[in-house]
Each structure stands twice: as structure tokens, then as C-alpha cells.
Amino acid sequence: MCGRFAVTLPQDAMAQLFAARPVNDLPTVPNYNVCPTNDVHVVTSDSADRQLGSMRWGFIPHWYKTPADGPLLINARAETIAEKPAFRSAARNRRCLIPASGFYEWTKDEDGNRLPWFIHPAEGDALAFAGIYQSWDKGDAPMTTCAIVTTGANEPMGKIHHRMPVILAETDWPLWLGEAGHGAATLMTAAPDDALRFYRVDPKVNSNRASGPDLIEPLGN
């Protein structure tokens, strides 16, 4: 799964990296502790134009009468995304990229204490998570919401958690965004074993209220 991540890339650098035009109020960066229900950066495309916008992290199916009408859908499993009623239309027609500088995952020690790890790209400053999105208009104000697609972990990540976000290489962005025809389903696989690095970080990030650059500092530094 992916339940917490960090975004440190400046807005203009993010727009340049994804060749995307900023289109609405963007979340503040840096944010070292992006949590479910936060607004997140999202790249979408209409084939002729890429946009860098903001969406609520936590996918709301169209039949929900309120945002809390069912479980909070922050992740969509690659193995079942095409079958689940909540996700199947979005998987076909509303795919996006969700930029991140890295994400957190947890293991436990022998006493059951949660031990956080920060997972980041082996090269470069950013990751592009595969995402899907959905507009929801039954509340006082319409909102657009998203979920991160996940898959089974690669061998190194499997030492920390059995699942991981689908991370897309730059060459695959056009296909996922629908700019390069059909076949996006083939991209929903684990990243290569050498794509990521990880290290332990301070347990203070266990709190969703924690903030600051020290959250991603290696433990003991």
C-alpha cells in the first residue's frame, strides 16, 4: 500500500519535469508528511495538453452520498482495478500521475513498535505514482479525488512491505495518461529492483501531525 508520502520539489520544477501547465491552486511544498484526505499534486492530460493540478487524496465513488459514506479509498489494487465498480471506469478513462519525492512504509520490532522507513528514488528527485481520479458532486462543493495504484512489492521492498505503489518511468507517462493509445494495463507492475533506496527514519513521522525536513533524515543523523 501507500499511505503517506513526501513532496519536496518546487512547483515550477514539478511543472517543468512533467511538461505540465499549472491550472489551479496547488498544495504547498515542501510537504514532508502528505496524508490521506490532503490535497495532492496531480498531472492529467487531454492528449493535447498536460495539466498540473490539485486533487483530494481519497477516491470517492460516484454513489457515495457523503465523503464518509464508505471506506477511505486511498489505494487501488492493480490486480482488481479493472473489476472493482469503484475504480473500473477511472482505470479506463481517468488516469493521472501523482508526483512524490518518496514515501513511507513501516515494519515492526519484536515489541510491536512501528518502525518507519523512507523510500526514495535511486536516481533523480521525484517519483511518479500511477493514479486514477473521480469527480464527486454530491456535497456542498464539487471535488475531484484520486487514489494511488498499488501492486505486489519487488524483492527489495518486500523486506519492508508486501505491496508498493506503481511507479512509472518517464517513458511510460504518455501511455498511462492516455496520450499514446491503449495498453496502460501493462504498466501496473512493480518497479525494477534497483529503482529505489530506503532507510529508517525517526518514529515522529508515525504521527500525521508531524512536519519538517527532519522527517526524511536517516535515523541517527
Q: What domains can you pick out in the chain, each with its CATH number?
A: 5-216 (3.90.1680.10)
Per annotation, catalytic residue among 35, 79, 96, 105: 105
Can you tell me the distance from the alpha carbon of 117 to that of 144, in angstroms, rounded to the nearest whole number? 30
Mean pLDDT of 16-20: 97
Per 3-state DSSP, the chain is made up of helix, strand and coil in percentages (nearest 5) of: 15, 35, 50
Whether 96 sits among the annotated catalytic residues: the reply is no
pLDDT of residue 185: 96
Identity at 179, one-letter amino acid code: E
Residue 217: active-site member? no
- Residue 19 Cα distances to 13, 16, 38, 86, angstroms: 10, 5, 24, 30
Among 2, 79, 83, 217, the active-site one is 2
Lowest mean pLDDT among 22-26, 138-142, 167-171: 138-142
What pLDDT is recorded for position 2? 87
Q: How far is CA 92 from CA 6, 82, 157, 165, in A?
A: 27, 8, 28, 18
Q: Please give the average per-residue pLDDT across 35-41, as a whole number.
A: 97
Mean pLDDT along residues 7-18: 97
Q: pLDDT tens digit string along 86-143? A: 999 999 999 999 999 999 999 999 999 999 999 999 998 899 999 999 999 887 788 9
